[in-house]
Amino acid sequence: MSPRQQLPTTAPVHPGGPRLGDPRPGDPRLGGARRGASRRAAALRVGMLALALAWIPLAAAQEEAEPPARRLITIDSSGGTQSGNLRFGPIVYQHPEPDGVVATVSNLTIRGPRAELTAPEGELIAQAQGRREAVFDGGVTVTRGRLTAVGATLRYAEATGLGVLAGSDGARVEVRIAPAQEGEPEVVIDAERVTFDVDTDTSVSEGEVRLLNGDQAARAERLEYEEDANLGVLSGSDRPQVVRTADDGGELRIVADEIRVLTDISALYAVGDVRVEDGDITSEGDEVFYDDEEEVAEVIGDPAIAVDEGAGVRLETARVRQDVRFRFVEAMDASLPTPYTVEQFLLVREKAP
């Protein structure tokens, strides 16, 4: 029934008069007919509303399923060649120069001598935007802002917006992040593979990861790094550790379940069964803040325990101050504010909207 159609308010009138069986005015069947028509109209309206409501999540799901335009990749091999099936793929881009094939996708630029673009089987390359994949090999360089990464191969999927840069034949991926300000150290990351997210400024390094930042060196199974925030999160079943080497060759070692590093100011936050070792001094607690400029570790626990074997000192308290420069420990007033907060070490995705 059309929404504009009006339900009858009286019995139908025919030119020849009432037909046999038509309800007469006052006939109880007339009220039943009206009620039946009203029920049918109401049922139709409910059905149309249900259909409209069902379409809303369906349309939303379809919109969500469509990858955003920023994930679409563009490949240029000017001065080189294109071959393969130009309609259905794969299309092969080659260039005599080692960085002659240039691809751009969102905030990433990918360079190498060869790339291959594919679409799902049976789909035209031009109509498969958002579902295509690109593979680069022969030596690949990735740049984004202050970051430059070098590896053997890279595989990118438009559906996820993720590009995985990997090494080969024992070679590893090297990532270098230039300092935001002059005088700051360069950050160097070494890993088996690095995944770049084009929707953010985040990369995830995996496989015996090593991070170098000035006089600090870290090891972990996994490193998530936000480039704009200069924030790295080290984690893994093999507990991460950070080693800080002093000018006199002495080493400060921090081991924990998770370690977060602000590389631009060389400060860190470690949490989960934390252990801080510096020569004869060892401190243990639930969490620790370390300021490399001040060379001070603040160990927090219930209790935090510090042992100085050389001085014969043992402390058990809520907060311990471990001075790395002058190599001593002391109890801290638990009511005093700390120069750092956990919120300073949160990733963007972890912060409240």
**Digitized pLDDT (tens) for each residue of the chain, 353 residues in all:** 444 333 333 334 334 444 434 444 444 443 444 444 444 443 434 343 333 333 334 334 444 456 789 999 999 999 999 999 999 999 999 999 999 999 999 999 999 999 999 999 999 999 999 999 999 999 999 999 999 999 999 999 999 999 999 998 889 999 999 998 888 899 999 999 999 999 999 999 999 999 999 999 999 999 999 999 999 999 999 999 999 998 888 899 999 999 999 999 889 999 999 999 999 999 999 999 999 999 999 999 999 999 999 999 999 999 999 999 999 999 999 888 888 899 999 999 999 88
Residue keyed to tokens 């028509």: 37
CA distance 203 to 185: 19
Distances (CA, A) of 243 to 177, 247, 266: 20, 13, 12
Q: Is residue 246 located within the same domain as residue 175?
A: no
Q: What is the pLDDT of residue 65?
A: 57
Q: Is residue 124 located within the same domain as residue 176?
A: yes
Token representation of residue 269:
């936050």
Residue type at position 277: E
Q: What is the pLDDT of residue 188?
A: 98
Q: Is residue 192 located within the same domain as residue 253?
A: no
Length of the chain, please?
Answer: 353
Write the CB contacts of 105 (distance below 8 Å, at least 6 apart in sequence): 70, 71, 72, 73, 74, 156, 158, 163, 198
Q: Is residue 73 located within the same domain as residue 191?
A: yes
CA distance 112 to 288: 43
Domain span including residue 72:
67-199
CA distance 108 to 155: 13
DSSP 66-135: SPPGGG--EEE-TTSEEEE-TTTS-EEEE-SSTT-EEEEETTEEEEESEEEEE-STT--TTT-TTS-EEE
Number of domain units in the chain: 2
CA distance 128 to 118: 9
Q: Is residue 123 located within the same domain as residue 169?
A: yes
**Which of these three, 141, 175, 199, is where a domain ends?**
199
DSSP 246-266: -TTS-EEEEE-SEEEEETTTT
Q: What is the pLDDT of residue 255?
A: 98
Q: Is residue 191 located within the same domain as residue 248?
A: no
Q: Is residue 193 located within the same domain as residue 244?
A: no
Q: Is residue 181 located within the same domain as residue 121?
A: yes
Q: What is the pLDDT of residue 31?
A: 45
Q: Is residue 193 located within the same domain as residue 72?
A: yes
Q: Is residue 189 located within the same domain as residue 244?
A: no
Nearest of 153, 134, 152 to residue 198 by alpha carbon: 134
In a domain, 8, yes or no: no
Q: What is the pLDDT of residue 37?
A: 41
CA distance 153 to 159: 19
Q: Is residue 87 located within the same domain as residue 195?
A: yes
CA distance 158 to 119: 10
Token representation of residue 142:
């990735």
In a domain, 25, yes or no: no
In a domain, 325, yes or no: yes
Q: What is the pLDDT of residue 182?
A: 87
CATH code, domain with 169: 2.60.450.10
What burial letters (b/e) apply to 274-305, b meaning 16+ CB within 10 Å? bbbbbeebbbbbbbbbbbbeebbbbbbbebbe
Distances (CA, A) of 124 to 65, 114, 117, 214: 19, 21, 12, 50
Radius of gyration from C-alpha coordinates of the chain: 33
Q: What is the pLDDT of residue 90?
A: 97
CA distance 110 to 123: 25
Q: Is residue 170 located within the same domain as residue 249?
A: no
**Which of these three, 199, 219, 250, is where a domain ends?**
199
Burial class (CB in 10 A: 0-12, 13-18, 19+), 159: middle
In a domain, 277, yes or no: yes
In a domain, 6, yes or no: no
Q: What is the pLDDT of residue 335?
A: 85
In a domain, 351, yes or no: yes
Q: Phi, psi at residue 321, to the nearest 5°? A: -105, 115
Under a CB-based contact definition with an 8 Å cutoff, are residues 73 and 105 in contact?
yes
Token representation of residue 185:
């150290």
In a domain, 235, yes or no: yes
CA distance 25 to 9: 12
In a domain, 342, yes or no: yes
**pTM given for the model:** 0.80
